[in-house]
Each structure stands twice: as C-alpha cells, then as structure tokens.
A = this chain, B = another copy of it.
C-alpha cells in the first residue's frame, strides 16, 4: 500500500538528546515545513518543558504537532532492560507504546541506544518471519555513504540471523541511499574459501543461495575494504558490528584531537591552520556520520530510528526525512515480502516460537 496520501504520524522522543529538547524541536520544526500536510508529529517528553518551547516557536504551533506528557527520562548511562522496564513513563517507553498501539507509524529518538534496542525488542514485535532485529548504521566511505549492520542489536547472531540482516539492510540502503541494487558484502577475515569461521562459512553459503533473486550479494569482504565502497551494505553480527562502529568512531575523534594538538603547537602552525580552517571544517563534516539520517532498528513491525545523541537540528530533520520516506515507500511491506522469500528458500521448516521470534503463520 502506498501511504503517500494517507495520514502518517511520527512519534518523537524529545528528551534523549545531549543538546536538550530545544534542539530536537528545532529539527521537528524544519520537518513540519518540508513534510506533506498529511504528516503529524507526536512529541513525547515533559509537557511543561516542551510546551514552553512550542509556545515561543511559530512553526511548532501548527495543529499537526501535539505533545504527550512523559514524566520520566531514560538517562544515557541507564542499563538497557532497566531503562525500559524500570521507566514505564519515560518519553522513550511511551513513544514505543504509541507505535505498538498503532497511534504512530514511526519513532525517532536521540536517546540511549541500548535502551531503544531493548525497548524495540520488548515493546514491539519483530516483523513476520524476522527472527532478530538489527541496528543499521550509515557511514562515510571514500566515494559515497554505505551502510553497516548489525551494529549491536543481536550479539548472539546465528548465520540465518545475519542473512536476514542482509535482507533488511539491502532494503534500507535502497531507500536511504537511493540505490537500485545495493551490493551486499559479508564482513570476515581473509576472503579465500576456508578462512573466517563456521558462522561465516554457513552465512556465505546461504547468501549465495539468495543472490540475484532477493539481494545482490557481492561476496566476502575484509576490514580494510569497509571504507572503500566495495559494497553498499556491510553485514556482520552485532558483536563485531558494535565493536567496529565504536572503535572507528573513537579513532576518528582521536585523530581529530591529535590534529588539533599538532596545529596549536607553534605560531607558524597556528597561522597555517587559520588559513586552511575551511579544510578542517569540511573534513569534520565528511567523516561525521551523524549528519546522515540516524540508524534504523530494522526488522520490527514499525520503523524505529535512532539519531545520534549529539545530533543538531539539521541531523534531526534529516533523520525525520528518512523516517517519513520509509513509511511513505512502505519499506516494511517490501521487507516482509523479501523475508518471506528468504525463509522459503533457506528455512523450509518452521522453527519453534522462542524469544524475539515472530509467531509462525
């Protein structure tokens, strides 16, 4: 079903940002202006605070913007399960509940990633046929952006989960990166047959089985190829993905600090740095994945997008744009279809219902 003409509601967890709710609401205001009139925004947070910001803001006074009071806030240091189950009245929990109840079609949150992943798994169901959700991240590569998943939603991944992640990521890359047939690569060590480990061998073999029909599998890739745009969708288990993501983010910051220190070491370097400051600003933008739309938690019955905690208003509105695109282009239906085909090809026997797994038909 094409939802372009239907009403569409985006839930926004307004409280999780490092920059405070004002910045989140400025991002929402941008989205109110560029989105179709059929789009509503449901803001979750402490009513007093949000209303005060809205009152002073001409765009947010729009009838399409409403506030839902949520007295609690999930902190950045909160443990995943405790942050969700222990704070039922947090902006994050109540927003997830609105998704579950069908009051909203998609959720954007800048809050605690671990809690959002746990909350998505606890409060929402996985999409029909999907066994585990996957967190999908967008990264800057040498020539263009690429996606990497799972970035940590499922650290106990079995080969079939990784295959399903590849299907989810491929669908997301089509919409978010605008690619017709995104190339999928399986992250491993050494690309010759026999290298890697058992999970990789089994996953590789299954991905070859669905290559061509369901996705465009380009084969095994190594760590040094990630940033070289050899593929558009890098797939791995959530344990590896999370570690690589965090290590790379932290290395970027370290290099930034080193550069800063070196440029301030003497007067000559300082003068040079002043003249070429535009280069450093551009560099920072190019290696900053925050600017690009946030990370969706894929494989759930609703679209859940995690924006970075330090996102500014432009990042927020960018993430909202992608969230609305996912709903308008009905990515979930396409994913459901692709997952059904994948399961038919690779897993003919229904599995017993367990954990997060969706009910069998």
Docked-complex contact B240 and A227, CB < 8 angstroms:
no
Pick from B142, B187, B258: contact of A257, CB under 8 Å: B142
Interface-forming stretch among A35-43, A259-267, A293-301, A314-322? A259-267
Q: Does A228 contact B (CB under 8 A)?
A: yes
A283 CB contacts on chain B under 8 angstroms = 255, 258-259, 262
Number of A residues near B (Cβ < 8 Å) is 65
Docked-complex contact B155 and A197, CB < 8 angstroms:
yes
Q: CB-nearest residue of chain B relative to A156?
A: B197
Bound-complex Cα distance A269 to B150 (A): 39
Pick from B252, B258, B276: contact of A263, CB under 8 Å: B276
Bound-complex Cα distance A160 to B197 (A): 17
Docked-complex contact B243 and A265, CB < 8 angstroms:
no
Q: Mark A262-301, 1 if CB is under 8 A from B, else 0.
A: 1101101111111111111011001100000000000000
Q: Mark A171-204, 1 if CB is under 8 A from B, else 0.
A: 0000000000000000111101001111000000
A279 and B257 contact, Cβ closer than 8 Å, known pairs A114-B190, A223-B245, A247-B244: no
Bound-complex Cα distance A192 to B142 (A): 35
A272 and B279 contact, Cβ closer than 8 Å, known pairs A189-B239, A243-B223: yes
Q: Does A152 contact B (CB under 8 A)?
A: yes
How far apart are A201's CB and chain B's nearest CB, in angstroms?
A: 11
Docked-complex contact B190 and A80, CB < 8 angstroms:
yes
Pick from B79, B239, B248: contact of A247, CB under 8 Å: B248
A279 and B250 contact, Cβ closer than 8 Å, known pairs A156-B197, A240-B239: no
Q: Does A167 contact B (CB under 8 A)?
A: no
A248 CB contacts on chain B under 8 angstroms = 247-248, 251
Docked-complex contact B244 and A263, CB < 8 angstroms:
no
Q: Does A225 contact B (CB under 8 A)?
A: yes
Q: CB-nearest residue of chain B relative to A151?
A: B189
A226 CB contacts on chain B under 8 angstroms = 247, 250
A286 CB contacts on chain B under 8 angstroms = 258, 262
Q: Does A211 contact B (CB under 8 A)?
A: no
Q: Does A164 contact B (CB under 8 A)?
A: no
How far apart are A275's CB and chain B's nearest CB, in angstroms?
A: 3
A311 CB contacts on chain B under 8 angstroms = none
List A residues at the B interface (Cβ < 8 Å): 79-80, 114, 141-142, 152, 155-156, 187-190, 192, 195-198, 222-228, 236, 238-240, 242-252, 254-255, 257-259, 262-263, 265-266, 268-280, 282-283, 286-287
Q: Give me 12 other A-B pairs in contact (C-beta within 8 A), A222-B243, A227-B250, A259-B279 excluded.
A: A79-B192, A142-B254, A196-B239, A224-B250, A225-B250, A240-B243, A255-B283, A258-B287, A259-B259, A262-B278, A265-B279, A269-B275
| Subset of 21 A-B contacts with CB under 8 Å | A79-B192, A152-B189, A155-B189, A155-B195, A155-B196, A222-B246, A223-B244, A223-B245, A223-B247, A226-B250, A244-B247, A254-B287, A255-B287, A262-B278, A262-B282, A268-B275, A269-B278, A272-B276, A272-B277, A273-B276, A273-B279
